[in-house]
Structure 1
Amino acid sequence: MNIIDGKSYEKAIEYINSLSQFVAGTGCERAEKLLERLGNPQDKLKVIHVAGSNGKGSVCAYLAGILQENGYKTGLFTSPHLIDERERIRINGMMITKEEFAEAYARVKAVEDELGKGSLAYFDYFLGIAFLVFLKQNVDICVIETGLGGRLDATNAVKNPVLDIIATISLEHTAILGDTIEKIAEEKSGIIKNNVPVVFIKDKKSVTDIIEKNAEDNNCEAYGVTQKDFQIIKNYGYCIDFSLNNMYYKNDCFTITTGAVYQVQNCSLALTAAEVLKKTGVVKLESNAVHKAVKKVQWHGRMEQIADNIYVDGAHNPEGIEALICSVSPITCGRKTILLFSVVNDKDYDRMIKSICDSNMFDYFVIAGIQGKRCLDDSCISDTFKKYTDKPVIDKINIKDAYESAAALRRDIDGVLFCTGSLYLVGEIMSIIK
């Protein structure tokens, strides 16, 4: 590929988007072969590895913000993207350039050509590109989010991280990760490496036991963050003041710029992880910079206000929906509410919809279908809503029509609109707004 060609980036994206999410072998096996042929760039970087079912992207964002504010050149690798594929790979909060992406892509594509067409999956390309760019840009530290699971995930090709983090674990991708939360916890905690400290959310006993056992077997220090460690002082609907009290913080007060209650837990996990990095000598931190950093972080698509009284949130499983519901009341302040909802077919949508209806937080429901391989028919979604509620349910075939209808209704009733159920939905709506 001619890197100077202005169409190189577009050609790269077109090819990557043609690839399957799943090909032969595990993600970890494929990534190990890929990275070895790229010179193992990950081994020349300080890597923080983050897994979990809900909140791991937010934890990555808060921790990357803390490191950046303390003067460290920080690489951030997350998924999925909402609008631009380069959202997945950032340095100091900025997407890498199209030129950087295209140049690294050419090297990954050369490896695939060597291994044989179809030897790499969609996610593998982004991981290889990320590590190549991070190394070339000489970043001080990288925060890497797993794609799916942990033990077999492509990111687990990283063998010597400086810290492992495990966010909230819940039932998800049961056909791949296992049909019980304990099996999923085993997969997620598969990122734990020998003598590498691990920081995790300590809530469900069966999950905690598995993480702590894996940590013990790998001679790791394990630091659990519990619900008792943090307390909300005031939720203003657009920002939250909270206190954190654990082995590192003594009722220290922080402010985050969001009305999402669940981000208090994610921020607390990131704050604790930062202190473990400090304790182990990986970084030096300044208290004022840490406070400033978490207040500045805004993670797109997570209870984000995108227009007047319109919010998008990427809740995509039952636990995510429960967390969203807890954040609605402080934002609405008694006003009428509309929920624009869509979901992909491999999620427990019946349970998600039942929780939404049982909460009695919403007055109107607008349903949209999502296109693509994982689409779930909009009529199936609307029928499920009608099974659990007598409130108005408006069915639209596509997201654009659904959003325009919901936004018009919001104006008519002077209410608040929430859009949720899938990050794909959030990305589509943000593209419409843009």
Structure 2
Amino acid sequence: MKKLALLSVLFLLLYACNDNDDDNSSDSIVENIETGAHLFLYGYDTSDFDIIRDTVRSGDTFGGILDANGVANSKIFEVATTYKDSFDVRRMNVGKPYVLFNAKDSTARTQLFVYEKTRVDYTVVDLRDSIHVFNAQKEVTYTEKEASGIISSSLSETMDDENLSPYMSDKLSNIYAWTVNFFQLQAGDRFKVVYTEKFINDTIPAGLHNIKAAYFEHRGQPLYAFEYQADSLQLYTDYYDDEANNLRRAFLKAPVKFSRISSRYNLKRRIKYYGYKLRPHKGTDFAASIGTPILATADGVVSKSERRGGNGNYVKIRHNGTYATQYLHMKSRNVKVGEYVKQGDVIGYVGMTGNTGGPHVCYRFWKNGKEVDPFKQDLPASKPMPQEYVTDYQQFIIPLKNQIDCIEY
């Protein structure tokens, strides 16, 4: 009994996390399916239980919730230790919905615990007899939609004006990350998209699924993008333009999203504070708020991750025998020396360490051991589409291109 009491205290000390993913809200999105006179929830007949719906609050724990609903500490401990690969009880996030299926007897003990990780994904903890824990998904349908917009100030504000998901901005920035400077958009730039949206039970919106085709006009230059899987063995799809060129490049345009250049690479820079003495700036500064994720602009191996002098916290990545990149003034570093990182991985967070007058990341680009201006380099493209797929691709995009061209602003 003393052991069980101690376990109960330990579980009550496991506080819920505050992290939120991008595909959920604090509203409970439940799947009700009516069959005859019975209402089913997550596949269970609700007439067999007393149903309690709630959301995780600050200070709530899995152990605390179930202990208050009559579940034995031994079962709580078994779920937390034996099934942590399926359901880590320490990672219940504040604001997430959960549902208790309680017994219709004097004990009112919880028989089933359902935790909604996202609008679509959920975990079931079956506490009846022997414990059973599994992850499942609600039935989802996909609806194709079209959208367009003209930039007046920023991409995100335009999305808001057009009542589009904020994640549309993120997806477009990922597609065009190698070809468009999203921190230098101009009034009059415009876009069109053909995309699919997820729905639960055909009626409940569950978020943006993917972008099938896009058109972005930046500084008068048209840029098409079509989602296509060129290799059936490839685990992901790429985006190609209307001439079958891969939109991905070996290097991202910028190490942070939706930022602005506050100071460019300039070997002739003179600063009043230093008496107008020549003080070359061999990096490109991207201003962003403290804590903004800093991304590796290309695949590579971390060669340095340390805090030193005016650089503050910084990371340097060796990409191959020719190129290396460096990221200065971080608030904190997220990688270690020797670690392999992929393009887009978060390697640290924007800060003000070292010699800096404001929050930004100083991005330095090395070619053959010399610091150069990344915006003046003829950087290599990603792998081209295999020739055997080009004809199929050209046929594949014909209806999509016609559809994009017919969308009005």
Q: Tell me if TM exceeds 0.5.
A: no
> Greater strand share, 1 or 2?
2
Going by fraction, where is helix more abundant, 1 or 2? Answer: 1
Of structures 1 and 2, the larger Rg is shown by 2
Question: Which structure is higher in RCO with an 8 Å CA cutoff and minimum separation 6?
Answer: 1
Q: TM-score, normalised by structure 2?
A: 0.33
